[in-house]
């Protein structure tokens, strides 16, 4: 394999080493499962000290790109940096987040119709009941307070998370959890934006009923209907 590593600059040795190693991984120079060069070899290629290499490798292990195995070396775990993916998601707009939600949640709804348990349905309904109580208090008080809006967002996210977890697909659950921070921020933005619709508990309850029916097509359709109004409203927001 050709040596594409260059000497690290002196201004930030660790950061430079991290970027060089990340570039090697992203370019496919090292494949998943490969053992990367030893600490000594990397230090020579980067022309930095072994402590710098050790710290750079530690950062990439923490980010999930590399994996250290005691007595064996360091191996490639992923050629993409999960942290950079998360940062990209966090910079996305409300519409972008809703589109990804639609992709993840509609498939989750289909699977949930086939795989849900009574406990799953109870969890979804409990989240909706809690949100309904908050919305009723807001109506009685003449308008939503900030604390009430944030509590409503948390219960809404609990509902959607419970629905996704009802699919009983560990990979889908982990992707959604990874994505949930941006879902939460998008929901919070929607809750304070006067142009975004209020949460429609009827469409949420219809989704639970569709999941409970065991009909995957009905569950998918109910999920799309639930997201249709906020997506239409998001289309009117400035990019």
Structural domains of the chain ordered from first start: 13-79 (1.10.10.10), 85-235 (1.20.120.530)
pTM over 0.85: no
Low-confidence ranges of the chain (pLDDT < 50): 1-2, 8-11, 144, 146-147
Name residues whose C-beta falls within 8 Å of residue 29's C-beta, 6 or more positions apart in sequence. 1, 4
Query: What pLDDT score does 91 carry?
Result: 67
Question: Which ranges constitute the DSSP H helices of 1-75?
Answer: 13-27, 39-46, 50-63
Which string of b and e fits 75-104 if b means at least 16 CB within 10 Å? bbbebebeeeeeeebeebebbbbbebbbeb
Query: Which stretch of DSSP H or E encloses residue 76?
Result: strand 73-76
CA distance linking residue 23 with residue 85, whole number of Å: 15
Place of tokens 């940096």: 81
Query: What pLDDT score does 80 carry?
Result: 79
Query: What pLDDT score does 11 carry?
Result: 42
């Amino acid at each position: 394999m050709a040596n594409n590593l260059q000497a690290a600059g002196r201004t930030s040795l660790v950061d430079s080493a991290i970027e060089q190693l990340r570039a090697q991984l992203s370019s496919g120079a090292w494949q998943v499962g490969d053992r990367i060069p030893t600490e000594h070899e990397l230090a020579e290629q980067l022309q930095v000290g072994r402590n710098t290499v050790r710290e750079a490798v530690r950062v990439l292990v923490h980010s999930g790109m590399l994996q250290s195995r005691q007595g064996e070396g360091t191996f490639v775990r992923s050629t993409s940096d999960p942290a950079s993916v998360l940062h990209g998601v966090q910079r996305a707009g409300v519409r972008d987040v809703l589109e990804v939600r639609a992709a993840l949640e509609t498939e989750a709804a289909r699977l949930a119709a086939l795989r849900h348990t009574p406990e799953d349905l109870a969890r979804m309904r409990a989240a909706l009941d809690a949100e309904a109580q908050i919305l009723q208090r807001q109506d009685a008080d003449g308008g939503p307070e900030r604390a009430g809006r944030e509590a409503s967002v948390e219960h809404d996210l609990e509902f959607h998370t419970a629905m996704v977890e009802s699919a009983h697909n560990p990979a889908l659950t982990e992707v959604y959890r990874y994505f949930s921070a941006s879902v939460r921020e998008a929901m919070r933005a929607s809750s304070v934006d006067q142009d975004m619709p209020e949460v429609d508990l009827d469409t949420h309850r219809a989704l639970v009923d569709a999941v409970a029916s065991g009909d995957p097509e009905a569950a998918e359709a109910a999920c799309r209907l639930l997201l249709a109004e906020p997506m239409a409203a998001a289309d009117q927001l400035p990019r």
